[in-house]
Amino acid sequence: MKNYRYPFIAAWLAAALTGCANADKPALMRSSPPPVSAVKLMQENNESAPTDTYQRAVWLTYIELADMFSRESCEEDFRADCGELFGELADMGFNTVYAHVRAFGDAFYDSELFAPTKYLTFDCDPLAVMTEQAHAHGLMIHAWINPLRCSGEEDMYRCEGTLIGEWQSDPESFPEYIVRPEDDSYYWLDPAVPEVRELAAAGVRELCEGYDIDGVHIDDYFYPTTDPAFDAGLYAAADTSLSLSEWRTENCSLLVSGLYSAVKSVRPDIPFGISPQGNIVNNYSALYADVGRWCAEEGFCDYIAPQIYFGYDNAVCPFTDTLAEWEKMTEDGRQLVVGLGMYKTARGGELSGSEYSGVIAEQIEDVMNDENCGGFAVYSCSNLLDGSDPDLERQSAAAAAVIKKLTRE
């Protein structure tokens, strides 16, 4: 192992990889009790807060956060902006926000493992502020991370002093730990590497120990390519009887199970969720994501939120049929949260036009009336609140109306 700027990380990784269950706790693993969700505390005190696990969720992306940062100049401005945003979402009937806190190997929070995001230009801990304001408005907040995607070449200098920076700057010592595929502008961590998976798990521990979040969430960024060149050396060194596809699929399952275990080791009271592609075939053929196994077996996730961003008449994945397929896969106990593509209803989008003026509202109603579903999630905040696009505005109003109607019933 190299001498990293944060030596406790190397010690933690070494202990995890060698199975040293009794190894000394590194500095990151503090001995004080982990935080308790502010929502849970409000519930215990009979204050206003969500009381069920049914998710009426919305994704808050790094793009939307970067736009908020660019409009503000200090923490108090950001706090006010968050308060206004979360207040609007609560008024529309939502109860959960999936907030992007790591999109490119960066951190929208105070991290000892990952470099600060380049988008933040003033002194602030965005996740602390978002958590505070979400709970103040009765919303649950899930920390949304992309565990494998890193930044482009021009921003890798920002990772100096982190493991990601070390791996990228010394490829001879760390072959294929981090790779930029041909025709891809981003670097990607390789889940075949045990140290990569352990860093991902350490990052989740850091979030669960440091913040009173109500869940941890990942989406569909697994392997970035099907090109055998991406990890040819590691595959050869593995000397496995598995095919490349089988081997990559197992690597993704090891990554996911490690993230799940990391959450539960610190915060067994909060859920870990995955949002894969809605097209089940694509998860296997392009991403090496074994969604069937993750839904069927314990130890991978608590909820799964497939991105069923399709209309009822979609030629490949019609909404109703695709939903039925996911219901079949989750019948053994995983909570099914249905991802809905509000962005596709924008003017010129696949679901835009007057004949589709209420398609998202109709899908929400279908989901809320379906006892096999444990919620829905809308992509994304800006699409819900974009008053400049009449199609989006009409969709949002219809969605809010049906949420409120069915929540009262």
How many other CB atoms are found less than 10 A from the CB of residue 328? 12
Q: For the packed helices 7-18 and 194-210, what is the interaxial angle rounded to 10 degrees?
A: 120
Q: Which residues of 268-278 are buried (b: 16+ CB within 10 A; e: fewer)?
A: eebbbbbbbbb
Whether the predicted pLDDT of 242 surpasses 90 = yes
Query: Which pLDDT belongs to residue 150?
Result: 98
Share of the chain above pLDDT 90, in %: 83
pLDDT of residue 44: 54
Q: What gap in Å lies between CA 6 and CA 113, rounded to an integer? A: 8
CA 273 to chain centre: 8
Q: CB within 8 A of 399, min separation 6: which ones?
A: 92, 342, 360, 361, 364, 378, 384
Phi and psi angles of residue 377, each rounded to the nearest 5 degrees, phi first: -140, 135
**What are the pLDDT digits (tens) for 126-177?**
999 999 999 999 999 999 999 999 999 999 999 999 999 999 999 999 999 9
**Inter-CA distances, 30 with 35, 83, 189, 206, 277, Å:** 12, 31, 27, 10, 36
- The structural domains of the chain, with segments of one domain joined by +, span 7-305
81-120 pLDDT per residue, tens: 999 999 999 999 999 999 999 999 999 999 999 999 999 9
Cβ proximity of 233 and 190 under 8 Å: no
Q: What is the CA radius of gyration of the chain?
A: 21
The pLDDT, as a whole number, for residue 15 is: 42
* Alpha carbons 68 and 54: distance in angstroms, whole number: 28
Residue 14: HSE in the Cβ half-sphere, 13 Å Cα cutoff: 13
Query: What confidence tier does 354 reach under pLDDT thresholds 50, 70, 90?
Result: low
SS3 assignment, position 324: helix
N- to C-terminal Cα separation, the chain: 59
- pLDDT for 21 beyond 60: no
Beginning with the edge strand found earlier in the chain, give each strand of the sheet holding 178-179 in spatial order.
149-152, 186-189, 178-179
H helices of 137-229, in order, are 163-169, 194-210
Percent of the chain with pLDDT strictly greater than 70: 87
pLDDT at 46: 44
Bridge partners (DSSP) listed for residue 376: 56, 338
- pLDDT interval class at 20 (50, 70, 90): very low
Q: How many CB atoms lie within 10 A of CB 88?
A: 15
pLDDT class of 333 with cuts at 50, 70, 90 = confident
Nearest to 107 by CA among 78, 70, 145, 81: 145
**356 vs 149, higher pLDDT:** 149
| pLDDT tens, position by position, 362-383 | 999 999 999 999 999 999 999 9
Report whether the peptide linkage leading into residue 380 is cis, meaning its omega lies within 30 degrees of zero. Answer: yes
pLDDT at res. 318: 97
What mean pLDDT is predicted for residues 185-192? 98
What whole-number distance in Å separates Cα of residue 292 and Cα of residue 253?
Answer: 11
Sign, CA torsion 289/292/295/298: negative
For residue 218, give the H/E element and its range: strand 215-218
User: Closest Cα to residue 310, out of 290, 326, 292, 293?
Assistant: 326
Which range has the worst mean pLDDT, 42-46, 72-76, 220-224, 306-310? Answer: 42-46
pLDDT value at residue 34: 54
* Mean pLDDT rounded to a whole number for the chain: 89
Q: Which pLDDT value is given to residue 353?
A: 78
Of the candidate CATH numbers 3.40.50, 3.30.110, 3.20.20, 2.40.50, the domain formed by 7-305 belongs to 3.20.20
What's at 253, amino acid-wise? S
Residue 37 has pLDDT above 80, yes or no: no
The separation between CA 151 and the C-alpha centre of its own chain, rounded to angstroms, equals: 17
